[in-house]
Each structure stands twice: as C-alpha cells, then as structure tokens.
Structure 1
Amino acid sequence: MSSFPNSPPTPLLGIDFSSAPSRRKPIWMAQGERHGAVLRLQSLQSFETLESFGAWLAQPQAWLGVFDMPFGLPRELVQTLGWPLEWLPLMKHYASLTRAEIRDQFAAFCNARPVGSKFAHRACDGPAGSSPSMKWVNPPVAYMLHAGVPLLLEAGASLPGLHEGNPQRLALEGYPGLTARELIGRRSYKSDTKAMQTPERLIARKDVVEALEQGRSRLGLRLKVSHAQRDELVADGSGDKLDAVLCLTQAAWAVQQPRYGWPVDADALEGWITSA
C-alpha cells in the first residue's frame, strides 16, 4: 500500500493518454499551476510515441499528474483468472502478457457470463460513470493500462494508495468525462472521426471551456487560459487537448484534498478515479 506524501509536488499535469500514440493522435499533456481557487494553464505538449512520453516522465523533476487511463483491474476479474491479488505483482503479471493474450482471456471471461453483465466492474466505475478497465475495444482502456502503468513504474513514480515510489512524482487516475458531464450533461463534445466533428460538438467544447473558466464545477476552481489557448481547446475536434485540461482540473482539486481525494475504504487492488 502506498503512503500519501504530505507535501505534494508541482507543477500539476493532466494527461490524455493513448496506448498507441501517433502523429495523428498523440498523447496530450496539459501543465498548470494552482493559485488559490485559480488554475492557470501554462502549456500543452504532445508525445507521438510511448518512448518519448516515458522519457519525459523519467526526467529528474517533480510533478503531480492525473492520467486518463485505468490504474487497476476489477477484483472479481482478477480472482476469477487466478492472478495475483496484490497490486504490484498483478501489474508485473499483466505487463508480461501480450495484448492478444489479454484480449483472449478477457473475452473468455465475458463469454462465460450472462448477457447484460459481461464485464466485471471496479467500485469506482459507478460513481465515475467510466468504462470497465477490462474493456479492450471502444475504448481500449485495458490496453491503456497495459501500456501506461509500466511507464509510471519505470519512471519511479508514486501511485498514492497503490504503490510507493518517488514522493516527488505522484500519479493519480482520472477520467475527464466525469467533469465534462457535470458541466454539459450527456452532450457529446468530441470525436476522432473527422466527419463526426460537428458544429454541435464544437459548441459543446466551447461550453465546457466557458464553464471551467467560470468555475461552475464542484471542484471549486476557475480555469485561467489565454485567448489563443481557449481557441486551441475549442478547435480540437478530437477533444484530446480539452480532456488533458479536464484531467488537469482534477489534479488541481486532488492536490488540496486529504489523501488526494482517495476514500479511506478504496480497494488497494482496484484503485480509484480522482474526484469520483
């Protein structure tokens, strides 16, 4: 079980992660600083490979980041498959598998279950409204876990509640859709398909940014962006840059919370989604 360091590092990061980043769809990282109730967006940076992102994480620097990817698997799934019931041994076992092996084992698990409850869920999925971390398609979050957590471990990061590493590099799991839904309900604000990047979705992104600037979320923060940054967030039809900023707002909330917002009774095998 990881401890919860008393003096959280800065800067704050929000990461929209991809298990297969490319020039067309890179990993996006938003960096910012919190001053009281104001969160100032400092920069947006992209990474086109897992290697380049891992190299950035491993640099000798301090940060607290919220990552849009799962940090754990459902306990029910792990028990059924007979995998290790402690987080670090489980992650090492998971990293040793190929994506094809993961898909086959998860598909067999689902096929043995009744319609309507094919997937196992973590305790945080309900309050966060997130996809089960064992999903391998639409979105392939199981592969994001497989690609991302090893990078954090290689960088020596601490994952509060799960794994104790360098207290100056703190990684928390986030889910941008949780904050976005609070601001605009179930309206869709993004699509990776060009033809689906409609005027309605552009207006929805504009509304999300405006709501963040006005501090209308329960996170109690007002986002401060430049005109150019606002235009950049609204113009990105994929929503990836905006998702990175939504994760950044969750990081700015977590940095002020006891235990970074982790419930006392959170499952140290499954993990927890920040602000759920």
Structure 2
Amino acid sequence: MAAPADRPAPGGTDAPAPPGLSLRGVDFSSRPSRRKAITMAIGQRCGTRVLVDRLRRFHHLDDWAASLDEPGPWRAGMDLPFGLPRELVTTLGWPTDWSALMRHYAALDRAVIRDRFKTFCAARPVGGKFAHRACDGPAGASPSMKWVNPPVAWMLHAGVPRLIAAGCDLPGLRAGDGRRQALEAYPGLLARELIGRTSYKSDDRQAWTEARRQARITLVKRLEQGAGRLALQLVAEPALRAELIDDASGDALDAVLCLVQVAWSVTRPGHGWPAGVDPLEGWILTA
C-alpha cells in the first residue's frame, strides 16, 4: 500500500520523533482470556505517518506484564486509567501521594474497593454519583472509579501495579526506566473525533452488524487520510488493514487508535499534557 505524502500538522510539530523509538498502543483488559485478549499494536512514527508493523495479543496478564520488561526504547499508550479522582481519594482518606496511593490501592481486595466506592456514591446526589478526574471531561472518558460497564477501576487495579513492578517510566507520575515509557490513552476520544458517536465495535457477537463494519471501514480510512486535529496518517499493510476492519470486537482498532495517540505525543513538549496537571490524577493523551 502506498504511503501518503507527508504534510505538516496544524501549527507544525515541536520536535522530530526520536530515532529508533518503537511505539505501542495497548487495548487493555483486566481479565484477559482467549475470547478477550489484551491487544497491542506496534509501530513507529515517520514524519506525519504512523506505520503499524504488527499486532500482538496476550491472553494472560502475566504474559502482558512480561512484555513490559522488553528493552527499549519504546513508548506505549495504554487504554487504562493511571489515576483516581482527587476528590474520591481525599474523601476516603487515602494517600494523596501517587506512588503511596497506588501501593494502597493495589493492596486492597476488589470487594473492599467496591464497597468503599459504593458507599461514596450512595452519599452523593443523583446525576453526580461518581467523582471525576480533570481529564475525564475533555476526553469523554468514564470515571476511573467506575467498577462496571466498563470496569475501569479493575483495569487500574490490574495494570498500574504491573507497570510499577516492571520499573516503567510513567511521565508526570513516577520516574522509571526512561527507555520504557507508558502513558494513559483513550481510543474513544480519537474515534469520536473521526466518526462521531457512530458505534464501530461490540463484544456481543450478536451485535456484529454490517453497520458497525462499515463504521470501522470509515474509521480506518479517516486514519489513513490523517483526518482530525492530530493530523497523523496511518499506514498498514493490506493484511493488517483487513484485520483492523474484520475484528468486530474493535480491540485491534482500539490498539491502533492508542498507537496514533502516543505517536502524536513523541513530538510534543511534556508529551502534550496541558500545564498544571494534577500529579495525583494524571492525564489522558491528546485530551
């Protein structure tokens, strides 16, 4: 497939992409299985193009955790929350230092976490049950304390402690091996910018409709065109491109959306975060 010609992004890029940097986009699951794997897209940035080399799938958390030890340089955009809302943390009396909070959170049983979160929500008015991070609104993301539909609280509980154990660098949150960096991404943010709220995926096989397939085709084409404010053009070989369209769960496409988001960050000062990000809550790439 011919690569699109380079063209400058609005405002220009701030710096060239570091040479030799491998990029990863990760669609995460707190309970991966043969039916629902953690999906990783691997690629690189070349000018305004994002070249997707391959997809990897992990059916066990330990297998994904082992991939974090792979030598860099790599930078990953991961679809899981890296922080909790400060309002929630202070109300519960939990540590307000990020590293201490993550140690505390990881040590709690999920049933205990659920009970604490339910009690917090029960004391709040209808329409404002959940606490939100500052980045949730701009990203259109679910609150990171949500334990169902989607269970992002369990994604944090499963994913972040493994990132810490592997010694990864978590910019803005925790210093680690600078050749292995992980940042929070959210594929829904980029998908909505490109195709609005049109549904393009489902974990329910009965909902694998032709309409959703057409939405994935449109989304891939928009990525290839470099549409949207990120102005980065996706390049994938025909077989991989077909896989992005044929995967009705959307996991492969979500991994690629995360890859594009992290590719955008590599030329941006401070990985593109706005000034004044709360070091307890963190931030979502491109929000």
Q: Does the alignment reach a TM-score above 0.5?
A: yes
| Runs of 4+ residues deviating >3 angstroms | 6-9
Residue 124 of structure 1, aligned match among 110, 127, 135: 135
Does 2:86 match 1:65? no
Any residues of structure 2 matched to 1:103-118 within 5 Å, and which?
103-118=114-129
Any residues of structure 2 matched to 1:9-158 within 5 Å, and which?
10-158=21-169
Does 2:193 match 1:182? yes
Residue 196 of structure 1, aligned match among 204, 207, 214: 207
Structure 1: gaps spanning 5 or more residues: 1-5
For residue 224 of structure 1, what is the aligned residue in structure 2?
Answer: 235
Aligned residues: CA RMSD: 1.2
Q: Secondary structure at the match of 1:32?
A: strand
Q: Distance in 1 between matches of 2:203 and 2:63?
A: 22
Is this contact kept in 1: 2:22–2:72, CA < 8 A? no
Farther off after superposition, 163-172 or 56-65: 56-65
Residue 214 of structure 1, aligned match among 225, 244, 247: 225
Is this contact kept in 1: 2:273–2:283, CA < 8 A? yes
Q: Distance in 1 between matches of 2:156 and 2:21?
A: 24
For residue 14 of structure 2, what is the aligned residue in structure 1?
Answer: none
Letter aligned with residue 21 of structure 2: T
For residue 254 of structure 2, what is the aligned residue in structure 1?
Answer: 243
1:164-202 per-position Cα deviation (integer Å, ceiling 9, x unaligned): 000101110000000000000010110000001111111
Q: 1:191 to 1:231 in 2, by over 3 A?
A: same
For residue 268 of structure 2, what is the aligned residue in structure 1?
Answer: 257
Q: Distance in 2 between matches of 1:199 and 1:233?
A: 15
For residue 13 of structure 2, what is the aligned residue in structure 1?
Answer: none
Question: CA shift at 1:7, angstroms?
Answer: 5.8
TM-score, length-scaled by structure 1: 0.96
Is this contact kept in 1: 2:71–2:180, CA < 8 A? no
Would you say how many aligned residue pairs link Structure 1 and Structure 2? 271
Q: Distance in 1 between matches of 2:193 and 2:72?
A: 33
Structure 2: gaps spanning 5 or more residues: 1-16
Q: Distance in 2 between matches of 1:175 and 1:126?
A: 12
Percent sequence identity is 60
TM-score, length-scaled by structure 2: 0.93
For residue 268 of structure 1, what is the aligned residue in structure 2?
Answer: 279
Q: Distance in 1 between matches of 2:239 and 2:83?
A: 37
Q: Distance in 1 between matches of 2:24 and 2:71?
A: 15
